[in-house]
Structure 1
């Protein structure tokens, strides 16, 4: 059974919250962010501001996936992570 967009948004928020609080993550989490975001970008029910945020998160996950030091990449993006988590609270 496929996940609906609300479940996908919850998973994205959970991963971003973990990155924010733990200051660490995995390449597989970045890849999961990318897959979910690709699916959500095809959803006509999502508003343009949500898609803009998703695009930023997609870039963050791609950069992190190819970073030589993923934990440092996550630490460098703490402010954006906080903003994205707050944004997700407003979307739900």
Structure 2
């Protein structure tokens, strides 16, 4: 069963919140972020401001997949998680 827009937004925020709280992540979580973001980016109802944030998160997830230490990658982005989540809440 495919996820609807609200489910996708919720999943995206949950993964980001988990990374922020746990200070760690996994390649499979980065891959899940990429899949959800790709799906959201083609949604014509998405606010352009959200698309900009999604692009930033997509870049974060790509770098995480290719990182030699995924947990250090998460820790290096601690300052951005709250901004990303707040921006998504504001525009979605």
TM superposition score normalised by structure 1? 0.95
2:40 equivalent to 1:40: yes
**What is the CA distance between 1:24 and its match in structure 2?**
0.2
Aligned to 2:82: 82
Aligned to 2:22: 22
TM superposition score normalised by structure 2? 0.95
**What is the CA distance between 1:88 and its match in structure 2?**
2.5
**What is the CA distance between 1:86 and its match in structure 2?**
1.6
Would you say how many aligned residue pairs link Structure 1 and Structure 2? 92
Aligned equivalents of 1:68, 1:2: Cα separation in 2: 32
**What is the CA distance between 1:91 and its match in structure 2?**
3.2
CA RMSD of aligned residues (A): 0.9
Gaps of 5+ in 2: none
Is the Cα contact below 8 Å between 2:23 and 2:71 reproduced in 1? yes
Q: Which runs of 4+ in 1 moved over 4 A?
A: none
Aligned equivalents of 1:72, 1:83: Cα separation in 2: 19
Q: Describe the SS at the equivalent of 2:2.
A: coil
Is the Cα contact below 8 Å between 2:47 and 2:91 reproduced in 1? no
